[in-house]
Amino acid sequence: MGESEFKQIVDAVLVGDVEKTKILTQEMLNKGISPHDVIEKGLMEGMNLVGDKFERREYFLPDLLVAAEAVKRATEVLKPFLKGEKGRGTVVIGTVSGDIHDLGKNLVASTLEVSGFRVVDLGVDVSSERFVDSAKKEKADIVAISALITTTMVGMKDVIEALEREGIRKEVKVMVGGAPLDEEFARKIGADRYARTSRDAARKAVELVDG
Partner 1 sequence: MAEMTSRERVLEAIEHREPDRLPVDFGNRCWTIVNATPYGYKALCEYLKISDYPEPKIVHLMNIVVNVDERILKKFNADIRNLGSGGLGVERLPDGTLRDLDNHGIIYKPAGPYFSVPDTLAPLRNAISEKDIEEYPFWSDYRNPVYFEGKEEEAKYLHQHTDYAISTWVPNIFHRYAFIRGFNNFMLDMRINVDFFRALANRILETSKTFVQEFLGRVGKYIDIVCIGDDMGTQSQPFMSVEDFRKYVKPYWAELNREIKKYTEAKILLHCCGSIYPLINDIIEVGFDVLNPIQPLAYQMEPERLKRDFGERICFLGGIDIQRLLPFGTPEEVKEGVRRVISILAPGGGYILAPSHNIEPETPPENIVAMYEAAREFGSYPIKRSRLC
Interface with partner 1 (CB under 8 A): 16, 18, 57, 60-63, 65-66, 69, 98-100, 102-103, 106, 123-125, 151-152
Select 92 or 208, whichever has its Cβ closest to partner 1: 92
Of 163, 180, 181, which is closest to residue 172 (Cα–Cα)?
163
| Closest distance to partner 1 from the beta carbon of 124 (Å) | 5
Q: How far is the CB of 98 from partner 1 (least distance, A)?
A: 4
Q: How far is the CB of 97 from partner 1 (least distance, A)?
A: 9
In terms of CB distance, is 98 or 190 closer to partner 1?
98
Q: Residue 18 or residue 168: which is nearer to partner 1 going by CB?
A: 18
| Phi, then psi, of 176 in degrees rounded to 5 | -125, 155
Q: Which amino acid is at 121?
A: D
**Rounded to the nearest whole angstrom, what is the least distance from the CB of residue 48 to partner 1 in the complex?**
19
Assess contact for 156 and 189: CB atoms under 8 A. Answer: yes
* Pick 17 or 27: Cβ nearer partner 1: 17
Q: Measured from the CB atom, is 105 or 169 closer to partner 1?
A: 105
CB of 141 to partner 1, least distance (A): 25
Three-class HEC string of the chain: CCHHHHHHHHHHHHCCCHHHHHHHHHHHHHCCCCHHHHHHHHHHHHHHHHHHHHHCCCCCHHHHHHHHHHHHHHHHHHHHHHCCCCCCEEEEEEEECCCCCCHHHHHHHHHHHHCCEEEEECCCCECHHHHHHHHHHCCCCEEEEECCCHHHHCHHHHHHHHHHHCCCCCCCEEEEECCCCCHHHHHHHCCCEEECCHHHHHHHHHHHHHC
Nearer to partner 1, 62 or 211 (CB): 62
Q: Minimum CB separation from partner 1 for residue 57, in Å?
A: 5
